[in-house]
Amino acid sequence: MKFPDLSMSTPVRLRDLIRQIRSAKTAAEERAVVQKECAYIRDSFRDEDNTWRCRNVAKLLYVSLLGYPAHFGQLECLKLIASTRFTDKRIGYLGAMLLLDERQDIHVLITNSLKNDLNHSNQYITGLALCALGSICSPEMSRDLGGEVERLMKSTNPYLKKKAVLCAVRIIRKVPEQFDVFQNSVRSLLTEKNHGVLLTATALVIEMCQQNTHALQSFRKLVPNLVRILKTLIMSGYSPEHDVSGISDPFLQVHLLRLLRILGRNDSEASEAMNDILAQVSTNTENSKNVGNAILYETVLTIMDIKSESGLRVLAVNILGRFLLNNDKNIRYVALNTLLRVVHADQNAVQRHRATIVECLKDADVSIKRRAMELCFALINPNNIRTMTNEMLEFLGTCETEFKADCTSNMFLAMERFAPSKRWHVDQMIKVLTTAGNSVRDDIVSSLIGIISSSSDLHGYTARQLYKIIRNDITQQPLVQVGSWTLGEFGDLFVNGQYEQPHGEEHIQVTENEITDILERVLNWSISTVVTREYAINALMKLSTRFPNCSDRIQSIMTYYACNMNLELQTRAVEYTSLFTKHNIIRPSIVERMPVLISNSSSNPNANEQQEQIYQEENPSNDAQINHVPPNEPVDLLKLLDEPIQTNGSIHPHEQQQNPLSSNPLTDLLSGDDISHNHLNNNIIPPMVALDKNGLRIVFTFEREDTLLTIHSKATNATQYPITNFIFKAAVPKTFTIELYPPNSTIIPANNSGEIHQIIKILNPNKDKLRMRIKLNYLFNNSSMGDEAELNTFPEQCYN
């Protein structure tokens, strides 16, 4: 390609340059045009050619917007700003906004020109200076020119007043302590008749309240004024200047509603003052067009965020319910997203729209489908667990692959909390694994195994159900893993018929060889994953003593796999082979049935007393294991908890992170046998909210036995994002002794759909007043978070 000769450059107008660049057929041709023009502009700047400086800077700004370097024009922008011509100043300020920012030292040179122009007699030049200041101001410039901006906010010219207020928004964002400079002026702005001034004033108050707590307290007194402005807007007649689709100034209405939401949050008096106007906006706003829907959306957010009346909350949820019926996918998505945020505030109101929400699971839009799925899980409770499980199973069978893992995990959490019985729980989880196929996380497999282990009366029944499935299909790896483990542990109960026959199903008679055949087929199938084959080889070894007739056959399998190419399988096979030969005498004790893995029954708050008694009877040896938890050394309360609190050494933290959904046996040992006693004591010692901040809530319930206080900590998460890697630390004065047991999980699911349980034991031999300092660390939305609190208001019954 032949490039233009730069030595013969001639000046071109901006429109001609744009035309040349757009007509370039290749990137190289475009670069050639830009390089040619930039070379000419540099020469012009070097020659101090004032005639075409304005045009050259304009062309340079266009080149900058295309992504080419234009930093060499920064000083020329300053020269244009210093010019007396309006056209020069306009391009100069535009160039300053595009080419300068507060990280560059050169922008400080513009301060004096800004100060002069802010006092200029021409309102349009003053407007240019305000725009530039609002765009590039630094904290230093904000302090130097804040007074000038405040003076212009008092101007009688609405044009300047609007721009000055918007500039003040930027200044407050940079320097929140400048609140004092603008406080008095803002109050008078809210009495203006001009809608543009009101709109910008509202934006400034919102910024002040978000940046300064003193401002928030001060502006709460203005709630009646804001309510009056909003009422005037919705009750006023037709005004062509402000009308948008039949609604008077929806932009101002939205800003007012947003400000009311900030002022009414956590304030009963302010919330009460705005209840009536929110009801009027909700009922009088037309919802046939997006303009009205935008106002209704802001109204709903405000109602659900303040301390509003229950009837008003129902009205807000009903508005979102109407949004769900809208044909516009964007509006439906907004409705689902908002319902997901407010479901914790009034679940009963949201439950009325459950059928519509479930219908959204069939939507073709994956974003709507995902939000509907999350909301469905947030709506599950003890009353609808059976119905919702069937709905979610149907969804699981038809949804895209990327939904299956999340859906499966959430179904497990929901059933763990609300399952009416363990048999139903096991049956449904088998259906979930069958439907989800290979899209199941590893933690679900281990958690289901824990549930099966803790259900002693269901061992033979579960082995039967899983055998029926995997005898015909071994392609679903998670299901085969659970089936292999169950057959290895309880296959003998199934063969001997030691289980309750399911009602209405035919009796299945199997032999030892048939179960061995299935496990050997899983082990030999080349497509089986290594983990699945490990489950199978372990199960075969377990059955070597329970199926004496198959012992020689299993030994041959182990001998064959002792030469397998996979190191893990080979190592296991070699060790198991040695149990048949060198250590045959201890083989029965090595492969005996595993101890019961106790699931966290306390995570199901709706289990009845009969079920709790069953859980206790299944684990009769609880008391013998309590002493395995080592006590912590006394901790000085005045320290900042920089070192981790000692926990149970028998549970490895890495295992907890890998299996966050699996229950902690130790927690159940301490919570299972004393359930009724716990309920009795909770009636004596009132519960206590240890922390309630940013959606994270920690509640303590207490049991006391003389000088020993047991605290049951429950952490929940009301936000729309899960909390992960949750670590809770606690310290008490040296006169106390504290034992902090490991939590049942390190993940707190979003939208109050799950919780973390942890037990703290405190010995108080002197019966002193209890004080405690807690420290939290966790990940929220991929950000590391932390918090501390000092607790000095424990109920007197805890120590008297």
Residue 517 pLDDT greater than 80, yes or no: yes
Give the model confidence (pLDDT) of 665-701 as tens digits: 323 323 333 333 333 334 478 888 899 888 899 999 9
257 band by pLDDT with thresholds 50, 70 and 90: very high
Tell me which residue of 416, 429, 509 sits closest to 462, measured CA to CA. 429
Mean pLDDT confidence for 615-628: 33
pLDDT, residue 11, reads 67
Per-residue pLDDT at 553: 92
* pLDDT-based confidence at residue 496 (cuts at 50, 70, 90): confident
How confident is residue 103, by pLDDT bands cut at 50, 70 and 90? low
Q: Which two tokens mark 106?
A: 């050169």
Give yes or no for a contact between 728 and 711, defined as CB atoms under 8 angstroms apart.
Answer: no
Percent of the chain scored above 70 by pLDDT? Answer: 86
Q: What's residue 695's pLDDT?
A: 84
Task: Name the least confident of 210-224, 334-348, 490-504, 537-551.
Answer: 490-504
Mean per-residue pLDDT, 443-470: 89
Return the beta strands (E) in 160-237 as ranges.
none
> C-alpha 557: how far from its chain's center?
48
Q: Identify the weakest region by mean pLDDT among 89-93, 344-348, 580-584.
A: 344-348
Highest mean pLDDT: which of 106-115, 527-536, 616-625? 527-536
Q: Which residues of 432-452 are buried (b: 16+ CB within 10 A; e: fewer)?
A: bbbbbbebbbebbbbbbbbbb
CA dist 212 → 209, 215, 216, 219, 514 (Å): 5, 5, 7, 11, 73
Give the least confident one: 94-103, 360-369, 435-444: 94-103
- pLDDT of res. 602: 38
Residue 107: its pLDDT value, please?
66
pLDDT band for position 504 (cuts 50, 70, 90): low
Q: Residue 713: pLDDT above 90? A: yes
Mean pLDDT of 631-645: 34
Indicate if the pLDDT at residue 282 is higher than 60: yes
In contact, 81 and 131? CB cutoff 8 Å: no
The mean pLDDT of the chain is 81
Q: First-to-last CA distance in the chain?
A: 93
Tokens 């409770």, residue located: 381
What pLDDT, on the 0 to 100 scale, is given for residue 521?
92
Residue from 217, 152, 213, 221 nearest 181 by CA: 152
Are 291 and 244 within 8 A, CB to CB?
yes
14-23, long-range: CB < 8 A, 24+ apart? 14/55, 14/58, 14/59, 14/62, 17/59, 17/62, 18/62, 21/66
Contact 102, 138 (CB under 8 A): yes
Give tens-digit pLDDT for 15-68.
Answer: 888 898 898 899 999 899 888 888 888 888 887 767 788 888 888 888 888 888
Strands (E), 251-325: none
With a cut of 80, say whether residue 329 has pLDDT above it: yes
Q: Is the pLDDT of residue 663 over 70?
A: no
Q: What percentage of the chain exceeds 90 in pLDDT?
A: 26
Most confident range (mean pLDDT) of 68-72, 93-97, 241-245, 356-360 is: 356-360
Q: For residue 119, give both structure tokens.
A: 């006092």
Q: What is the pTM of this model?
A: 0.64
| pLDDT for residue 456 | 85
- Name the band, by pLDDT with cuts 50, 70 and 90, for residue 598: low
Instruction: Output the pLDDT for position 543.
Output: 92
CA nearest to 147, candidates 112, 178, 107: 178
Check residue 558 and give its pLDDT. 93
The predicted-structure confidence for 368-396, as pLDDT tens digits, reads as follows 999 999 999 999 999 999 999 999 999 99
Average pLDDT estimate for 413-441: 90
- Looking up tokens 């919802």, which residue turns up? 287
Residue 616: the pLDDT is 34
pLDDT tens column, 184-201 = 788 888 888 888 889 999
Question: Which residues are 244's β-sheet partners?
Answer: 247
Does residue 266 have a pLDDT over 60? yes
Across the strands, what pairs with 731? 773
Distance separating alpha carbons of residues 748 and 746, to the nearest angstrom: 7
- Name the 3-class secondary structure at 67: coil
